[in-house]
Amino acid sequence: MSTFQAPKGTYDLIPPESAKYLAVREAIAAPLRNSGYGYIETPGFENVELFARGVGESTDIVTKEMYAFETKGGDQLALRPEGTASVLRAALEANLHKLGNLPVKLWYSGSYYRYERPQKGRYRHFSQVGAEAIGAEDPALDAELIILADQAYRSLGLRTFRILLNSLGDKECRPVYREALQNFLRGLDLDEETLRRADINPLRVLDDKRPDVQKQLTDAPLLRDYLCDACKAYHEEVRELITAAGVAFEDDPKLVRGLDYYTRTTFEFVHDGLGSQSAVGGGGRYDGLSEMIGGPALPSVGWALGVDRTVLALEAEGVELELPASTSVFAVPLGDEARRVLFTKVTELRKLGIAADFSYGSKGLKGAMKSANRSGARYTIVAGERDLAEGVVQLKDMESGDQRAVGVNEIVAELESKLG
Ligand code: ATP
Ligand code: MG
């Protein structure tokens, strides 16, 4: 094994590709910032108990995928596998829900860790941007989040994603359904592990991706036939609001999602260009989560969008993001005096917000011009002793190849007017 190798299931973001990740995070965050969501950042690890209770003891995340460890001080911690439990924990700790301004709307962006079998679109370290609206039961809030995610993806230029929508019912109607489903599942020809799952968390069997299991599930009872009147009305309202916003979705009566805490509205964003890792994001309502982690009743809704898979989706669709040029002006000094003068000019340009870079090290003109080309700069300024003696620098337009002398004292203003 090479010494220079990232751990299994991880990869590095390096230029120029890394710019895409920044742009995706920014594009997902922009509609949230514009809709009353405040930025929150929580630690990369939490007490393992938070996830065990909050994500669910019977989920794959907790049973198989969590990086849990004991510290030297004896604390039981886990690298965060997802964001919602941490955000809710932080909101409760800071008493944000008591400030009389519900819902508390928060967004976050960061790294998450799951011990999974690595494959394309499935990594052990990945990044998400997420949003949570805590402490309100209002179909407009569920609709808002779905609309904002749709807007984020569209602003990136993604077109062929689909929104799958379902309702998981609430603590009144879901138990009745759960039992009906359990009875149905017991009659099927399933392996031992799946039967065990049917006992602990039968809804998740619906999510089984194996064709032979899916075939047997064709006639499974559906939650939508068991929804209580309140859940039905709530779901209908969500559907109407997103339809009125012009956001297309598909009803998916078998959509359940992997986490235990979801109630009512559940949705997933899928992209068909990604093979089996097709979910680019997902979310839903989690009215019971706060109580599950020891807090008061706080009905809430949220989503998390996967940055890695969103980048893959952009590539699958052939979308080229319009990324700002990282360098607009590149300075090439020839000689010590020129180094001092041009370094000052670069600093001045940067202060004006113009992206500028400098030829460092003692390269010759040829090597320096190569760096200028590679930087993607629109303009290069070159100066040698003779130029400075005449009080000028050479301004080269890298697109047309034109070059002309501009006064040393005029060059910054000249570039500002050209690039402004
Ligand atoms: P999957 O069914 O593909 O395992 P999930 O239901 O576990 O997804 P969530 O917990 O809902 O995923 O996370 C939200 C988003 O985060 C996913 O839609 C996906 O884009 C991304 N994501 C989740 N796990 C990974 C991973 N291991 N590697 C890369 N992205 C991931
Ligand atoms: Mg998963």
Q: Ligand 1, from 51, 122, 289: best to mutate by most atoms within 8 Å of Cβ?
A: 122
- Structural domain spans, the chain: 17-173+227-317, 329-419
Question: Strands, E, within 71-143: which ranges?
Answer: 76-79, 104-113, 125-134
Instruction: Please tell me if the CB atom of residue 208 comes closer than 6 angstroms to any atom of ligand 1.
Output: no
- Encoded tokens for 230: 């309140």
Q: How far is the C-alpha of 122 from the C-alpha of 308, rounded, in Å?
A: 9
Count other Cβ atoms within 10 Å, centred on residue 355: 18
Residue 317: the pLDDT is 96
Residue 33: the pLDDT is 98
Please tell me the number of the ligand nearest to residue 207's CA. Answer: 1
Residue 258: the pLDDT is 63
Residue found under tokens 């052990």: 124
Strand order in the sheet with 279-285: 38-39, 104-113, 125-134, 300-306, 279-285, 263-271, 161-167, 250-251
Model pTM? 0.93
The SS3 call for residue 172 is: coil
Instruction: Please tell me if the CB atom of residue 279 comes closer than 6 angstroms to any atom of ligand 1.
Output: yes
Q: Ligand 1, from 112, 127, 252: best to mutate by most atoms within 8 Å of Cβ?
A: 112
Most distant CA pair in the chain, distance: 93
Q: For strand 279-285 and strand 356-358, is the pairing parallel, antiparallel, or unpaired? A: unpaired
Do residues 183 and 127 make contact, with C-beta atoms less than 8 angstroms apart?
Answer: no
φ, ψ dihedrals at 5, nearest 5°:
-140, 125
> Would you identify the CATH topology of the domain 329-419?
Rossmann fold (3.40.50)
Q: How far is the C-alpha of 142 from the C-alpha of 335, rounded, in Å?
A: 63
Q: How far is the C-alpha of 60 from the C-alpha of 55, rounded, in Å?
A: 10
Residue 284: the pLDDT is 96
- 162-192 pLDDT, tens per residue? 999 999 999 899 999 999 999 999 999 999 9
Low-confidence ranges of the chain (pLDDT < 50): none
Do residues 82 and 132 make contact, with C-beta atoms less than 8 angstroms apart?
Answer: no
| Rounded (5°) CA angle 146-204-144 | 10
Q: Ligand 1, from 65, 80, 128: best to mutate by most atoms within 8 Å of Cβ?
A: 128
Residue 272: the pLDDT is 93
End-to-end CA distance of the chain: 50
Residue 363: the pLDDT is 86
Q: Which atom of ligand 1 is nearest to the CA of 310?
A: 20
Spell out a b/e string for 60-87, using b for 16 or more CB atoms within 10 Å of the CB, else e.
Answer: bbbeebbbeeeeeeeeebbbbbbbbbbb
- Torsional sign, CA 412, 415, 417, 420: negative
Residue 260: the pLDDT is 65
Question: In CATH, which superfamily holds the domain spanning 17-173+227-317?
Answer: Bira Bifunctional Protein; Domain 2 (3.30.930.10)
DSSP 64: I
Count other Cβ atoms within 10 Å, centred on residue 273: 16
Instruction: Give which of 207, 170, 163, 122 is closest to 303, Cα–Cα.
Output: 163
Q: Which amino acid is at 416?
A: E
DSSP 63: I
Instruction: Please tell me if the CB atom of residue 313 comes closer than 6 angstroms to any atom of ligand 1.
Output: no
- What is the whole-number distance in angstroms between the Cα of residue 381 and the centre of ligand 1? 47
Residue 208: the pLDDT is 86
DSSP 165: E
Instruction: Give which of 48, 120, 107, 58 is closest to 256, Cα–Cα.
Output: 58
Do residues 76 and 97 make contact, with C-beta atoms less than 8 angstroms apart?
Answer: no
Instruction: Please tell me if the CB atom of residue 277 comes closer than 6 angstroms to any atom of ligand 1.
Output: yes
